[in-house]
Amino acid sequence: QVQLVESGGGLVQAGGSLRLSCAASGRTITNYAMGWFRQAPGKERDFVAAISWSGGSTSYADSVKGRFTISRDSAKNTVYLQMNNLQLEDTAVYYCARRASIVANPANPGNYDYWGQGTQVTVSS
């Protein structure tokens, strides 16, 4: 079993920054690709960013490219999401997840097998 715990969410003004963390326990996530998703009220869970097991490859949703950066620290068994220039539309609950297969589409939430409980990000005007 893997437990994923997100932290770092909060209330921020538009244009501000937050750094989310996803700490894994129970079993290592070192050999697994990881992803961040978000879900706004009444909407589906959307892909935000993904990172390969080595950290050498990343991918982003078009809506966050150039503003968000995903990274990982294998020694700390932690994945991060640096979010800059936050906009109102970034308001959502943010989830990290472990991808079940390296060949799976990173943007499909169905390809992830373990999820955190989520952390709320609220952007105000």
* pLDDT at res. 29: 83
| Contacting residues for 125 by C-beta, under 8 A, at least 6 apart | 13, 14, 88
Q: What are the pLDDT digits (tens) for 85-99?
A: 999 999 999 999 999
User: 36-48 burial, b for 16+ CB within 10 Å, e for fewer?
Assistant: bbbeeeeeebebb
pLDDT band of residue 34 (cuts 50, 70, 90) is: very high
* pLDDT at res. 31: 86
* pLDDT at res. 101: 78
Q: What are the pLDDT digits (tens) for 52-85?
A: 988 889 999 999 999 999 999 989 999 999 999 9
The whole-chain average pLDDT of the chain stands at 94
Q: Which amino acid is at 10?
A: G
pLDDT band of residue 42 (cuts 50, 70, 90) is: very high
Which residue has tokens 């080595």?
A: 54
Structure-token pair, residue 115: 């999820």
The strand pairing partners of 69, in sequence order, are 82
* pLDDT at res. 28: 78
pLDDT over 80 at 103, yes or no: no
pLDDT over 80 at 102, yes or no: no
